[in-house]
């Protein structure tokens, strides 16, 4: 078989020699395994992350091992019950033309009449679910809202925008080059697309979405993300799907950036201001007072006598001079 192995971890962009291609014998099948002839190998931005040993969501590829990748292929030999020669399987595999697996991380792919295998694998495999759950579960789109998606003409982006249209959103893509922009607008029905290579993203967003952005489906990171963030509405949502502009930087001793940590750890971050909950202050008051009266909630006040001391006391908040809730006793109670 022919296989790509990770020879060394890339530094910066993937360079010649980081991956090596070699012919080698197909491993002998053990009981419970089957061999696939790979038809399609999916190349994904995350491949670069797997090549690095930075914090990520699954183990990095071991140096020397076959490069990991999404694949689909047909069974050519089987020593596994329920798996027959000719079956179509897809899942996490190797950059190889033949691979041996026990089926971990793989599932049978149905043959769908009328849908070419490339479209079924390429859409339903990984990018379709990414777009579907990221937009619908995390983005929570509502009709009439404005959705922005970067890498708009790519695997995930093209689906995000179209689901956005199905949900009744105004959809603005961001992509590199006129051909990609024309494609998402004219062929896929996006409302507009900004060519970040020839246009000023911020100015175009101001023009196309003067109302502001409700949902930013983030795939790119960096300055494009900042331009969208600056135009988001209060209570907008940002599915943090990817940060492709940063992936070639993930190596060396650098700490991962904050956004990368949020992505890899799947953090929920939601800004709030207490007054957002003003209508529920009755509820919080009852609960807090109840705990105070039951002795379950203690609080400490740091009371400074005299209004004249207010200006000096306020500064202590920023140096830790207060111990507990800082109050000024203006008039004795």
Residues at the site binding ligand NDP, with contacts judged by CB under 6 A = 44-46, 126-127, 130, 151, 153-157, 175-177, 180, 219-220, 224, 241-242, 244-245
Query: Which residue has 């896929």 as its token pair?
Result: 188
Shortest reach from residue 196's CB to ligand NDP, in Å: 6
Residue 280 C-beta: closest distance to ligand NDP, Å: 33
- How many other C-beta atoms can be found within 10 angstroms of the C-beta atom of residue 183? 18
Q: How many CB atoms lie within 10 A of CB 268?
A: 6
If the CB atoms of residues 83 and 225 are measured against ligand NDP, the closer one turns out to be 225
CB nearer to ligand NDP: give 19 or 201. Answer: 201
In the complex, the smallest distance separating the C-beta of residue 104 from ligand NDP, rounded to whole angstroms, is: 19
Strand partners, 38: 73
Residues 6+ positions from 257 with CB-CB distance below 8 Å: 243, 246
Residue 19 or 220 having the CB closest to ligand NDP:
220
Compute the Cα dihedral for 213, 218, 222, 224 and give only its sign: negative
Between 3 and 49, name the residue whose CB sits nearer to ligand NDP: 49
Residue 218 DSSP SS3: strand
Select 4 or 132, whichever has its Cβ closest to ligand NDP: 132
Q: What is the closest distance, in whole angstroms, from the C-beta atom of residue 182 to ligand NDP in the complex?
A: 12
Rg (alpha carbons) of the chain, rounded to whole number = 27
Q: What phi and psi values does residue 69 have, to the nearest 5 degrees? A: -165, 160
CA distance 55 to 42: 22
Residue 73 Cβ vs ligand NDP, minimum distance, rounded to whole Å: 20
Quote the Cα angle for 108-120-104, to 5°.
30
Judged by beta carbon, residue 177 or residue 285, the one nearer ligand NDP is 177
Continuous H helices in the chain: 46-51, 117-119, 127-133, 155-166, 178-182, 201-208, 222-229, 258-264, 281-293, 310-316
Closest separation in Å from C-beta 74 to ligand NDP: 24
* Phi/psi at 259 (5° precision): -65, -35
User: C-beta of 156: minimal distance to ligand NDP in Å?
Assistant: 4
Nearer to ligand NDP, 58 or 307 (CB): 58
């Amino acid at each position: 078989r022919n296989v790509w192995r990770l020879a060394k971890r890339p530094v910066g962009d993937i360079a010649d020699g980081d991956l090596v291609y070699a012919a080698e014998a197909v491993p002998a099948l053990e009981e419970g395994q089957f061999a696939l002839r790979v038809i399609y190998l999916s190349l994904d931005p995350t491949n670069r992350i797997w090549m690095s040993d930075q914090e990520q969501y699954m183990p990095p590829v071991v140096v020397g091992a076959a490069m990991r990748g999404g694949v689909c292929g047909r069974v050519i030999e089987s020593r596994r019950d329920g798996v027959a020669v000719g079956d179509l399987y897809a899942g996490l595999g190797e950059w190889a033309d033949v691979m041996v697996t026990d089926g971990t991380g793989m599932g049978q792919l149905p043959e769908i009449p009328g849908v070419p295998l490339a479209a079924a694998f390429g859409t339903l495999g990984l990018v379709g679910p990414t777009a579907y759950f990221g937009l619908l579960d995390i983005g929570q789109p509502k009709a009439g809202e404005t959705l922005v998606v970067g890498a708009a003409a790519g695997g995930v982006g093209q689906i995000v925008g179209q689901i956005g249209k199905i949900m009744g959103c105004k959809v603005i893509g961001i992509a590199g080059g006129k051909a990609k922009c024309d494609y998402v607008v004219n062929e896929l029905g996006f409302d507009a697309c900004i060519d970040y290579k020839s246009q000023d993203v911020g100015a175009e967003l101001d023009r196309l979405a003067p109302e502001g952005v409700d949902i930013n489906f983030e795939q790119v990171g960096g300055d494009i993300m900042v331009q969208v963030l600056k135009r988001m509405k209060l209570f907008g949502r940002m599915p943090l799907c990817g940060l492709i502009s940063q992936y070639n930087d993930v190596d060396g001793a650098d700490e991962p950036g904050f956004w990368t940590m949020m992505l890899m750890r799947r953090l929920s971050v939601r800004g709030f201001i207490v007054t957002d909950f003003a209508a529920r202050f009755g509820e919080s008051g009852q609960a807090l007072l109840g705990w105070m009266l039951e002795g379950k909630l203690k609080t400490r006040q740091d009371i400074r006598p005299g209004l004249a001391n207010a200006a000096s006391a306020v500064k202590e908040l920023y140096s830790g001079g207060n111990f507990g809730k800082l109050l000024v006793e203006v008039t004795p109670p």
